[in-house]
């Protein structure tokens, strides 16, 4: 039965069609939605430790219960089906799969952990929804952090073994495995600015983490191919569209530095088998990169079937001369320690214009520019938008959430994806972040990204207007070109 709220917006002359086969999806991550933190044999991850440390997360929130997706996944899959999703990107919690892992050994596989994801995969397939599995979305087993975390290459080695276990168990039904989600955040927010778990503030450790995350991707990609030869292997990066409004050579150099630290230090080893010389030079005062061993770059430079691109907001920089307080509007949270290792002479000015509840500037052009740059520099590489979305301060009024700002954000960004596609970029899918409101890391439950509202007291799900709107886009396989079609219901 189609309710009034679900009636499709007319695609007609005011809509722009996506290419046939373009995949519509929605995304979440284990620690942000699952809850059941101490159930099914799961042991603590770095996010359990971090969120339970007073002062780390807004409101003292934790992922102990979150959206209770662990128990409610059948209901959630039914909701996805109702919205017409073709694919669901979720992550596997490593501490559910090998809860006794140590730096030296993976330890026994926890059948109960695998059974949960296997049941989720079956439920999705029965609903006609294709699973896309992220193997690491930031919930490192605490025991590995205690032995050095991502500063240690043993973490990368254990990751590959864990990846092989998951791919062997799910690879008969899962076509897409994403090794890592946003290693930039794991490395720099986890080890330099400390606003993410494990909360360390050591610049040299952050760069060691960059390398071992790259290594984990390479070893993990090879492991997935061994265990699930037919699967597609991808890596998701949060790449930045870095620009400046300044005109000096120093401003241009600020763009180069930040581009190096955010984009090329991941793209170049993975896709070209080398670290960028300028990044090595920029960071020479922090580390000599001696943790890179002979042969590592070959291990990292594995064939990649697709690159996952997460885009939310532009990155605008300028040179900082040190005479005024440094502007730090980089959207990555407040810390006395910068995530921008070896870029002390760069600042991030506040931009005029629209911002989301995260304080992130809204500029959909960046989506097009980023996708086109990747297409230009890595021709032939399949691109998938694995995250895009926005937080706003939603309110439920009489059972509805009229989140027109989020709908407008999504409309503009989908149009921006289509601009890139029409200009030749091989973008094959789009995953909206997020399906449900969830635990937004150090912001806890204070920021809502979902197209489905969650009442954290009752666990009641309420489809927001943006959810109905996205469903209409999926049905029409087209994005409305005018504001008139933004509101459904």
* Residues belonging to the active site: 182, 387
Query: Rounded to whole angstroms, how far apart are CA atoms 39 and 111?
Result: 13
Q: Which residues pair with 453 in a beta bridge?
A: 462
Q: Which C-beta is closer to ligand FCB: that of 171 or that of 467?
A: 467
Tokens of 473: 């886009």
Q: Which C-beta is closer to ligand FCB: that of 29 or that of 367?
A: 29
- Nearest approach, Cβ of 309 to ligand FCB (angstroms)? 12
- Nearest approach, Cβ of 340 to ligand FCB (angstroms)? 16
Q: Which C-beta is closer to ligand FCB: that of 26 or that of 152?
A: 26
- Nearest approach, Cβ of 441 to ligand FCB (angstroms)? 6
Q: Which C-beta is closer to ligand FCB: that of 200 or that of 448?
A: 448
Q: Which C-beta is closer to ligand FCB: that of 152 or that of 310?
A: 310
- Nearest approach, Cβ of 481 to ligand FCB (angstroms)? 27
- Nearest approach, Cβ of 449 to ligand FCB (angstroms)? 5
Q: Which C-beta is closer to ligand FCB: that of 228 or that of 307?
A: 307
Q: Which C-beta is closer to ligand FCB: that of 185 or that of 343?
A: 185
Q: Do 27 and 433 form a contact (C-beta atoms < 8 A)?
A: yes
Query: Rounded to whole angstroms, how far apart are CA atoms 35 and 38?
Result: 8
**Applying CB under 6 A, which residues contact ligand FCB?**
29, 32, 181-182, 185, 238, 310, 387, 433, 440-441, 449
């Amino acid at each position: 039965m189609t309710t009034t709220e679900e009636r499709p917006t007319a695609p007609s002359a005011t809509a722009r069609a996506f290419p046939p086969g373009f995949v519509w999806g929605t995304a979440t991550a284990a620690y942000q939605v699952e809850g059941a933190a101490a159930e099914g044999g799961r042991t603590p991850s770095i996010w359990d430790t971090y969120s339970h440390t007073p002062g780390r997360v807004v409101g003292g929130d934790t992922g102990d219960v979150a959206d209770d997706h662990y128990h409610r996944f059948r209901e959630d899959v039914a909701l996805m089906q109702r919205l017409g999703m073709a694919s669901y990107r979720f992550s596997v919690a490593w501490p559910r799969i090998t809860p006794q892992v140590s730096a030296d050994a993976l330890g026994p596989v926890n059948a109960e952990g695998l059974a949960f994801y296997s049941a989720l995969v079956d439920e999705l397939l029965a609903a006609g929804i294709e699973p896309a599995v992220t193997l690491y979305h930031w919930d490192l087993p605490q025991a590995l952090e205690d032995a050095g975390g991502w500063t240690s290459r043993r973490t990368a080695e254990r990751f590959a073994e864990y990846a092989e276990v998951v791919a062997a168990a799910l690879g008969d039904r899962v076509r897409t495995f994403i090794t890592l989600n946003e290693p930039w955040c794991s490395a720099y927010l986890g080890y330099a600015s400390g606003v993410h778990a494990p909360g360390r503030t050591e610049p040299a450790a952050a760069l060691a983490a960059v390398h071992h995350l790259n290594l984990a991707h390479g070893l993990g990609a090879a492991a997935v191919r061994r265990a699930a030869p037919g699967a597609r292997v991808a890596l998701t990066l949060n790449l930045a569209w870095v620009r400046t409004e300044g005109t000096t050579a120093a401003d241009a150099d600020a763009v180069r530095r930040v581009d190096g630290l955010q984009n090329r230090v991941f793209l170049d080893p993975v896709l070209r088998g080398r670290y960028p010389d300028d990044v090595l030079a920029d960071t020479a005062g922090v580390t000599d990169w001696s943790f890179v061993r002979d042969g590592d770059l070959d291990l990292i430079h594995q064939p990649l079937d697709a690159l996952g691109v997460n885009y939310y907001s532009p990155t605008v920089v300028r040179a900082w001369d040190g005479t005024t307080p440094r502007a730090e509007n980089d959207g990555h949270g407040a810390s006395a320690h910068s995530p921008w290792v070896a870029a002390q002479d760069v600042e991030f000015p506040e931009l005029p214009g629209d911002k989301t509840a995260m304080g992130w500037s809204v500029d959909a052009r960046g989506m097009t520019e980023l996708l086109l740059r990747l297409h230009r520099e890595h021709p032939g590489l399949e691109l998938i938008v694995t995250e895009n979305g926005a937080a706003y301060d939603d309110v439920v009024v009489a059972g509805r959430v009229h989140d027109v700002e989020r709908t407008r954000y999504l409309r503009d960004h989908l149009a921006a994806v289509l601009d890139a596609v029409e200009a030749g970029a091989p973008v094959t899918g789009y995953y909206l972040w997020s399906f449900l409101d969830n635990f937004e890391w150090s912001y806890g439950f204070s920021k809502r990204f979902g197209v489905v509202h969650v009442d954290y007291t009752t666990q009641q799900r309420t489809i927001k207007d943006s959810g109905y709107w996205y469903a209409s886009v999926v049905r029409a396989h087209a994005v409305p070109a005018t504001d008139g079609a933004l509101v459904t219901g």
